[in-house]
Structure 1
Amino acid sequence: MAFPSPVVMLSVIAVAMASITFVATRDQAPTERRVDTATIASADQSPSVDPAPADPKPEAKPEPQVKRGEVYVEVFNNSGIKGLAATTAAKATQVGWAVVGEDNWYGVIPTTTVYFPPRLQAAGKQLALDLGIKRTSPAVGVMKRDRLTVILTTDAPQ
């Protein structure tokens, strides 16, 4: 019995990983809801019957500070636009992120995304803000769990 060639096996593995990445990175249904501002405005204008002093507002929990220079970032180009990963990596470096690599990404990614491991979620959101990227998502597949992964598509901010 003859075994398939290594190229065939690698192709099958690549297709499987691309499928897993596609399924894991699909957009989820929006969780936002519409707020009727007219109702809020009329509630604010209604006279108060009880002139009791207002309860002091609880202090908001401070957002964790992200130390950009202590977080590794890899930038991948999935757009076909030559030099996009290098340009974006340079922008990230200019604002203080520790960019440790840039390359091309092979697979299907629906839109430009910053992927983060669970412990770096706040950093992932900050990096997305810094670069003008609208989508963040938990890391999937072969992405390293000690860094942020940016995958750029044709809709990447330039």
Structure 2
Amino acid sequence: MSARRRDERGVVFPSPVVMLSIIAVAMAAVAFVATRGSEPTEREVVPSSAQPSAPTTSAAPSAKPKPKPKPVVKRGKTYVEVYNNSGITGLAGSVATRATDAGWQVVGTDNWVGSVNGNTVFYPKRLKAAAELLALDLGIQRTSLAVDPMRLDRLTVILTGELR
């Protein structure tokens, strides 16, 4: 009797989890390359009561500069979308409820895929005053101009962690 050696040849396909992991790493690498080198257009929102007042040095004490009229923000007329960019389940929904309770018209919540440096209210140029007011209402310290793929007819809130 001769001992026959078994020859096992074939192709092994990776599991779907491995394939999805490889795709996720590739997408993260593409996102990193696409976003590096761009300067952030974000800024910190500071309530006016916390800003130091500059000393006035006008020659005539009766001459006062005319303040610019502030735009009137109608919360119920401004669309808001809230996105969760954290691992906290239900964060976008709870913040959307807070915004609705404050009078804002929340039109959607979802998860955000991408990199954001902190809780931020993104806005198109014409809604800057509304973005600052929404940020104050929610306790968010940062606002920034909206970027693609954000819609330019509404405010976009992206959450990276719990609000205080």
Q: Please, what TM-score do these two structures have when normalized by structure 1?
A: 0.69
TM superposition shift of 1:141: 1.7
Question: Matches of 1:97 and 1:11 in 2, distance apart?
Answer: 37
Tell me if structure 2 keeps the 8 A contact 1:85–1:103: yes
Consecutive unaligned residues of structure 2, counting only runs of 5 or more, are 1-19, 45-51
TM superposition shift of 1:12: 6.7
Question: Matches of 1:68 and 1:28 in 2, distance apart?
Answer: 22
Identity of aligned residues (%): 47
Consecutive unaligned residues of structure 1, counting only runs of 5 or more, are 1-6, 45-51
Question: Matches of 2:156 and 2:104 in 1, distance apart?
Answer: 12
The reply to whether residue 105 of structure 1 matches residue 112 of structure 2 is yes
The reply to whether residue 140 of structure 1 matches residue 147 of structure 2 is yes
- Higher helix residue share: 1
- Matched to 1:86, the amino acid is G
- Matched to 2:163, the amino acid is P
* Structure 1 range deviating more: 109-118 or 11-20: 11-20
Superposed structure 1 runs of 4+ greater than 4 Å apart: 7-25, 27-30
TM superposition shift of 1:14: 7.5
User: What corresponds to 1:69 in structure 2?
Assistant: 76
Question: Matches of 1:59 and 1:85 in 2, distance apart?
Answer: 41
Counterpart among 115, 125, 128 of residue 122 in structure 2: 115
- Matched to 1:103, the amino acid is D
User: What corresponds to 1:89 in structure 2?
Assistant: 96
Question: Matches of 1:128 and 1:22 in 2, distance apart?
Answer: 26
Q: Deviations over 1:8-64 (max 9, x none)?
A: 99997776456556765747698xxxx8x9xx6xx99xxxxxxx9623312312211
TM superposition shift of 1:67: 0.5
TM superposition shift of 1:79: 0.9
Tell me if structure 2 keeps the 8 A contact 1:115–1:149: yes
**Alpha carbons of 1:21 and 1:126: their partners in 2 closer, same or farther (altered >3 Å)?**
farther
The reply to whether residue 57 of structure 1 matches residue 57 of structure 2 is no
Q: Which protein is bigger by CA-based radius of gyration?
A: 2
Count of aligned pairs: 135
Question: Matches of 1:133 and 1:22 in 2, distance apart?
Answer: 25
Q: Please, what TM-score do these two structures have when normalized by structure 2?
A: 0.67
